[in-house]
Every structure is written in structure tokens, then in C-alpha cells.
Amino acid sequence: MIFENEKNKFLGIKDSKTTGTDVIIVPYPLENSVCYRKGTRMGPKEIIKASHQLELYDEDLNYEPCSRINIKTIKTNPPPRNNIEAVNELEKITTAILNLNKFPFIFGGEHTITVGAINAFAKLKQPLTIVQFDAHADLRNEYESNNFSHACSMRRCMDLKNINIIPIGIRSLSKSEAIFLEKNRNRINTFFAKDKDDWDIKKFIEMIKNKNIYITFDVDALDSSIMPATGTPEPGGLLWDEVIKLIKIISTNSNVVGADINELAPIKNLDSCNFLTAKLAYKIISLVFHSKQR
């Protein structure tokens, strides 16, 4: 495992802690099955570039989280052009990180990256709940004759028996996905965006309480007014404050064991989306480790 230098690492700072590593960032610019607006191959690079402009002090926590959390970024090769091969490669990378007892955070790339990470966690033989921030259900069994399309990412995770899913912000799905959701209510508890004013937060807390949680964040979960830089931007999505409130709840009530951010497709001269994604990644790390270190 080779680590990036300051120029190419997330946040672009020297290791703040003299020993140990807490979080390992995996840039994985996968773009094999994107079917509308392309550009996810540039997502990880632009997230890291934007992260160098972040203020490191957190106004919620009243300290600089990076002074207490050692965050390193590994070097990765260009992903294979075949998604099955890419998933297998990312599974191996994630397994190596878990064997070191570190927190994997993957920067995509298309949403298929989540399958590789979850395959690694599944080998631990422990129950795992995926909290999926997303506009789309991603539960198709195949899309355009591809079982490993980004539109099938959560369906492939559901192939694993020890995995449950809590999708948040869903507002676009196919008829077949709606049928699959209905048949799998015992493993999938969906919080539709149309109902967000009436979400039962107490019920959500009960679902995640003291459980191992993996956060997958497709940036199209965010409303298209603040996140147009994604393959299929959808109206009616989540806003920043709503997302941060949920991340705080997740961090406080569960054991977050890994995360990914995916589907950023940068738009030239629209750096706000890259910056938002970088800040979200830092915020997730900050809140998760603040809870772990209390």
C-alpha cells in the first residue's frame, strides 16, 4: 500500500499525528457504466483538489478534526474497464485496509464502487447496515444487459445475506425496483424524499442503534439546485443542513465502519460542487471520529 504525497492527498496537509493511521482514502475513478452525463472518472481528483481549500476548523466541534485524526490517501491505478474486475480489485483494496483495522473511505467514480467495498465487509461475517444517500434506488437486477451497472449497485449488495439497507432521499425508481422494495421490506427500509417533512427520526434511530453502519453517499441525493454535477441530477432532493443533521444522528447512534462518496461528475468552472463534496467527506470523517473518540 503506497501513500500519496501532500500534493495529491486529501486535505493536502502533513500527517498531524506522529503515529498511526485512522482513515485511508481510496480514490477510485471508475466510469464504465455511466449512461447519461459522464465525468465520474474525474470525481476523485477534483474532490482531493478542492479539499486543499477547506478550512480545517469545524464550527460544530470547536477544533480541527484533522489534528486528531490521521487521514492518509493511497495511490491507485486506473480501474479496469470491466466492472466485475473493478469490483474484485476494490474488494481486495478494502480487505487490505480492514486487515489493518483502519477506516476505508472510497472516493468514486460511479456507484458500482460500493459493491467492491461491501463484498470486503461481508467476508467478516457480521451483520452490516448500509445507509444509502441517493436519488435512485439502484436495485435493478441488470441495466443495459449489465448486472454490474451503477444502476444495480444496491441490488448486488442485497445478494449478500448479512446486508440490510436504509435508502434515504429516493425519488426516482423503476417499476421493477418498486416491486423489489415491496418484497424486501424486512431488509430495506426506505425514506423517500417526498416524505421528508414527515420522516420518523425516532424510527430511524431505532434502525441504526448500536449497529455497524456503512455510509454510501451518491451525490445525486442532494437537490439538483446545489448538485448539478452528477450523471442524473434530480429535483426534490436533500439540502446541506438536512444531510448534516442525519450524519450527526448516524455518527452518534451507531458504529460507522466505512464510507464512500460517488457519482460526482465535475462541470468545468463550477467548482462549488467539487468543494461541497470535499467538505461533505471531511464532515463525515470529523463527525464519525468525534463520536468514536469520546
Q: Which residue ranges make up each domain of the chain?
A: 6-293
| Rounded-to-integer distance, Cα 234 and Cα 130, Å | 22
More confident residue, 1 or 174: 174
Burial of 236 (0-12, 13-18, 19+ CB in 10 A): middle
Q: Which residue in the block uniquely carries the three cell numbers 444517500? A: 133
Percent of the chain at pLDDT above 90?
90
Average pLDDT of the chain to the nearest whole number: 95
Residue 158 has pLDDT above 90, yes or no: yes
Residue 18 has pLDDT above 60, yes or no: no
Residue 16 has pLDDT above 70, yes or no: no
Q: Which residue in the block uniquely carries the three cell numbers 458504529? A: 255
CATH fit for domain 6-293, picks 3.40.800.10, 3.40.50.2000, 3.40.190.10, 3.40.50.300: 3.40.800.10
For 192, residues 6+ apart whose C-beta sits below 8 A from its C-beta are: 170, 171
Residue 259 has pLDDT above 80, yes or no: yes
Record the cell numbers describing residue 214, joined without a space.
Answer: 456503512
For the chain, the first-to-last Cα distance in angstroms comes to 30
Q: What is the pLDDT of residues 237-256, one digit of tens each?
A: 999 999 999 999 999 999 99
Q: What is the pLDDT of residues 200-209, one digit of tens each?
A: 999 999 999 9
| Rounded-to-integer distance, Cα 236 and Cα 61, Å | 30
